[in-house]
């Protein structure tokens, strides 16, 4: 289904983005890693080059590109290189994201701007520039890693700036799914039921204790694979949760995804926004 399909992933040098890249590479896809990290980071694992090595080891073709998705010219240049290399774009995964779980008085405007420029603007920009190529694909999909839209105070009050920026990604799904439905381009969102063991959880949210109560990124990767394998004309405008996607595929045992296999699913930490 995904063999020789070209997948453009933003921010895929580590974490969930990398896990999705490797999973799709196992199906023989061409994977474009469009991320900022070209040199090793002192606090974060992975670069576009280490990601490319993992993708090729998994059976896919990799194109690592250093891209800041806030830069329109850089995104367009990257897309031009992808089309020149692989001939087109079939799938876009808007994974790149900035996070700061700070209340209003503790949110400086530099951090506010970063979240909105990467999360909302970056998702809109990359979608806009990939669309001319997606429209030529047989089964075009856009998947945003963003939460279900829920306009309740409890999701905004603790960190309104971050929630606005993440919901901006989800609004792109809502609007573009309707806008491009007749043309057959699918726009969907995917979010985890539990916290996921990534560098953000380790460094920003809860350290080792929260990591133990999380699932591994592979659950998101498997869910993404099933979504992206569906006919785009029949699967659009959805706000998917990883667990629900897998249950619909007949998968009910999630034990292999737990970081600490001694814990039960009830012991895991529910993710934000759910």
Strands of 91-94's sheet in order across: 61-66, 30-35, 6-10, 91-94, 141-144, 186-191, 239-241
CA–centroid distance for 89 within its chain: 16
CATH homologous superfamily of domain 6-267? NAD(P)-binding Rossmann-like Domain (3.40.50.720)
Catalytic residues, which ones? 162
Alpha carbons within 13 A on the beta-carbon side of 221? 21
β partners of residue 33:
9, 64
Residue 132 CB: number of other CB atoms within 10 A? 12
Domain layout of the chain by residue ranges: 6-267
* CA–CA gap between residue 91 and residue 76 (Å, rounded): 16
**Residue 203, pLDDT score:** 65
* CA–CA gap between residue 250 and residue 61 (Å, rounded): 30
**Residue 274, pLDDT score:** 83
Name the burial class of residue 57, with classes exposed (0-12), middle (13-18) and buried (19+) by CB atoms within 10 angstroms of its CB.
Answer: exposed
**Residue 44, pLDDT score:** 77
**Residue 208, pLDDT score:** 82
Q: What is the pLDDT along the chain (274 residues), one digit of tens a residue?
A: 899 999 999 998 999 999 999 999 999 999 999 999 888 877 777 899 999 999 999 999 999 999 999 999 999 999 999 999 999 999 999 999 999 999 999 999 999 999 999 999 999 999 999 999 999 999 999 999 999 999 999 999 999 999 999 999 999 999 999 999 999 999 999 999 999 998 777 666 667 888 999 999 999 999 999 999 999 999 999 999 999 999 999 999 999 999 999 999 899 999 889 8
Kindly report the pTM of this predicted structure.
0.96
Residue 43 CB: number of other CB atoms within 10 A? 7
């Amino acid at each position: 289904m995904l063999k020789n399909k070209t997948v453009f992933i933003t921010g895929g040098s580590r974490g969930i983005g990398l896990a999705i890249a490797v999973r799709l590479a196992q199906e023989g896809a061409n994977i474009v890693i469009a991320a900022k990290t070209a040199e090793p980071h002192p606090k974060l694992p992975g670069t576009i080059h280490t990601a490319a090595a993992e993708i090729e080891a998994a059976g896919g073709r990799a194109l690592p590109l250093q891209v800041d998705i806030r830069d329109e010219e850089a995104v367009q240049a990257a897309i031009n290189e992808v089309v020149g290399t692989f001939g087109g774009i079939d799938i876009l995964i808007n994974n790149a994201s900035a996070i700061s779980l700070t209340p209003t008085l503790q949110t400086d405007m530099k951090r506010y701007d970063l979240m909105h420029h990467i999360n909302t603007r970056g998702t809109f920009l990359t979608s806009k520039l990939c669309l001319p190529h997606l429209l030529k694909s047989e089964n075009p999909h856009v998947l945003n890693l963003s939460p279900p839209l829920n306009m309740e105070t409890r999701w905004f009050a603790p960190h309104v700036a971050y929630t606005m920026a993440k919901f901006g990604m989800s609004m792109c799904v809502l609007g573009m799914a309707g806008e491009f439905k007749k043309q057959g381009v699918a726009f969907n969102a995917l979010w985890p039921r539990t916290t996921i063991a990534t560098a953000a959880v380790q460094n920003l949210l809860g350290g080792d204790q929260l990591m133990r109560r999380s699932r591994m990124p592979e659950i998101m990767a498997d869910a993404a694979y099933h979504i992206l394998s569906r006919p785009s004309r029949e699967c659009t405008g959805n706000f998917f949760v990883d667990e629900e996607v897998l249950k619909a595929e007949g998968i009910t045992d999630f034990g292999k995804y737990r970081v600490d296999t001694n814990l039960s699913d009830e012991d895991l930490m529910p993710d934000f926004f759910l």
